[in-house]
């Protein structure tokens, strides 16, 4: 009976230490979650950044879908047109929307890359406050000391 009591007490103490330890985020998980707009920021509990990423990505996705629809509309008009002057005008309009669609895809890619990098960095720095308490700066005479306590 005494052994069970000691074992229970030991488990409670170990559990208390585990709960008291700051949670360190996994950078790999942050990268994987970042494949979905705002997922890495939500994982890192950066909800304002997540909202911004979701909003920006949603805008670029909607714009790309719209521009793709316009490309298809102009393609249909090109196929139905016989007048060479209008045909050239339609081709220019289609090219314009195709370039806009390509721009949207590039901007989605840049946004994805930056949000993934942000999530990775935030995950690596998630334990920074706890680690910061272990670092002490000391000045003596004209000497500067940095101490790190493990």
How far apart are the C-alpha atoms of 37 and 135, rounded to whole Å? 36
Tokens of 48: 């304002």
Cβ neighbours of residue 134 under 8 Å, at least 6 residues apart? 148, 149, 150
Model confidence, pTM: 0.67
Give the pLDDT of residue 22: 53
Considering 4-8, 35-39, 63-67, the range whose residues carry the highest mean pLDDT is: 63-67
Give the pLDDT of residue 134: 64
What is the SS3 assignment for 134?
Answer: coil
């Amino acid at each position: 009976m005494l052994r069970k009591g000691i074992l229970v007490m030991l488990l409670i103490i170990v559990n208390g230490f585990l709960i008291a330890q700051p949670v360190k985020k996994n950078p790999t998980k942050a990268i994987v979650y970042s494949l979905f707009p705002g997922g890495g920021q939500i994982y890192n509990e950066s909800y304002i950044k997540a909202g911004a990423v979701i909003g920006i990505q949603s805008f670029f996705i909607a714009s790309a879908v719209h521009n793709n629809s316009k490309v298809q509309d102009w393609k249909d008009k090109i196929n139905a047109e016989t007048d060479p002057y209008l045909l050239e005008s339609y081709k220019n309009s289609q090219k314009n929307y195709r370039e806009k669609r390509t721009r949207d895809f590039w901007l989605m890619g840049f946004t994805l890359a930056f949000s993934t990098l942000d999530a990775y960095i935030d995950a690596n720095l998630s334990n920074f406050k706890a680690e910061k308490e272990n670092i002490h700066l000391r000045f003596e005479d004209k000497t500067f000391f940095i101490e790190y306590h493990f």
